[in-house]
Amino acid sequence: MAGFLLTPPLLRRNPSIFNLFYPKNGVINVEVLSNFGLIYYAFLNGLEMNLDTILKAKKESISIAVAGIIFPFITGSGLYALYRKFYITGNIFRLEEISTHAYLMWSLILTVTGFPNLVEILSELKLHYTGLGKVALTAAMISDTYNWILFTLLIPFSSLDISNAIYSVISTILFIVVCIFLVRPIITKFVEQKTEKNELDEYVLLFVVMGLLLCSHVSDILGTHAIVGAFVYGLILPHGKFADFVMSVSDDFGGGFLASVYFSGNGMRFMIESLFTHTNWVVSLLVVFLSCVTKILATLFATSLFGRPAKDGFAIGLLLNTKGALALVLLSIAWDKVVLFYS
């Protein structure tokens, strides 16, 4: 909302106010903080997930997650074609050129489930430890992980030629495998020793941040994105007391301040006049509605295979439609790489 207030129709009409928050000689500093905030947000996202739960998930949760990705991903291409057709008609804004990358990225963003946001919703509704809540939570965790995998596969092809993109994807997959099966046991053993001796202090947090920057740097060099390494690093860290300690110590600064700088930049990209000048704005609402319905129908199909009542399947489908910051992150990256844009 703070970023949105600084858009041209509002406070940005007054250059002095905008320059107060974003002075020209401080843009680079703000950009550095913004990118570090994005990296740390991806790290916290991975840290909230339990890798053991993902690897040992039941068939029902896996089926719900897979159906909730495949069905919206397929229909996403049709919705993209429909939206382009009606958006361009009588509209003053120019969209990106039609490409496979645009179709895939659009579809991927439609399938995203905001796992951290879903955790908060289930906690507020006192459904966190119910049977329905556990299924929805596990399915969302698996779905979020699959979305990260798809993102890792798609991003290199949006900015690199095919041969380099293939190299980038293969090397990134090897990096993830090494992190999960070689690095994770070493870190787990070290952390367990520190936890048993109650030696969790600021020095441990220092090593956590150093590992975060290292993994982010490696994935960035490999041609994917720094947030991939950050997410994987958070995912391989031990769950439980250690994860709670890291989040309690750093969440206010990392998530509350650094990430906010990044998301304020997202707010500044929201051009509200593009909604009011769009003659076919009803199609925008229709696309949102159909994307939600598709995920609900996919969840109903998956839950019916395991004999779960339709009302439970409908409720899980609604929960899996939860969108969060990850969708904004993917949209922003697609914008930066000129996969999706308007002007």
pLDDT value at residue 229: 93
pLDDT value of position 92: 58
> What is the residue-level pLDDT of the chain in tens, covering all 343 positions?
777 777 776 776 677 777 777 777 777 777 788 888 889 888 988 888 888 888 888 888 999 999 988 888 888 888 888 888 777 655 556 677 777 778 888 888 888 888 888 888 888 888 878 888 888 889 988 888 888 888 888 888 776 677 888 889 899 999 999 999 999 999 988 888 888 777 777 777 888 889 999 999 999 999 888 999 999 999 999 888 888 888 888 877 877 888 888 888 777 777 776 666 667 778 878 888 988 899 999 999 999 999 899 999 999 999 998 887 888 888 888 887 777 766 6
In sequence order, the 6+-apart residues with CB closer than 8 A to the CB of 294 are 71, 72, 75
Query: What CA–CA distances, in Å, run from 190 to 205, 207, 291?
Result: 13, 12, 44
DSSP 243-261: HHHHHHHHHHHIIIIIHHH
Does residue 173 sit in helix, strand or coil? helix
Are 152 and 218 spatial neighbours (Cβ–Cβ below 8 Å)? Answer: no
In CATH terms, the fold of domain 2-336 is Na+/H+ antiporter like fold (1.20.1530)
Does this model's pTM top 0.85? My answer is no
- For 149, the 3-state DSSP assignment is helix
C-alpha span between 169 and 173 (Å, rounded): 6
Tokens matching residue 33: 């903080």
The residue assigned the tokens 């990134």 is 172
b/e sequence 332-343, b meaning 16+ C-beta within 10 Å: bbbeeeebbbee
Q: Which residues contact 236 (CB under 8 A, 6 or more apart)?
A: 51, 179, 180, 183, 184, 187
Q: Do 268 and 3 form a contact (C-beta atoms < 8 A)?
A: yes
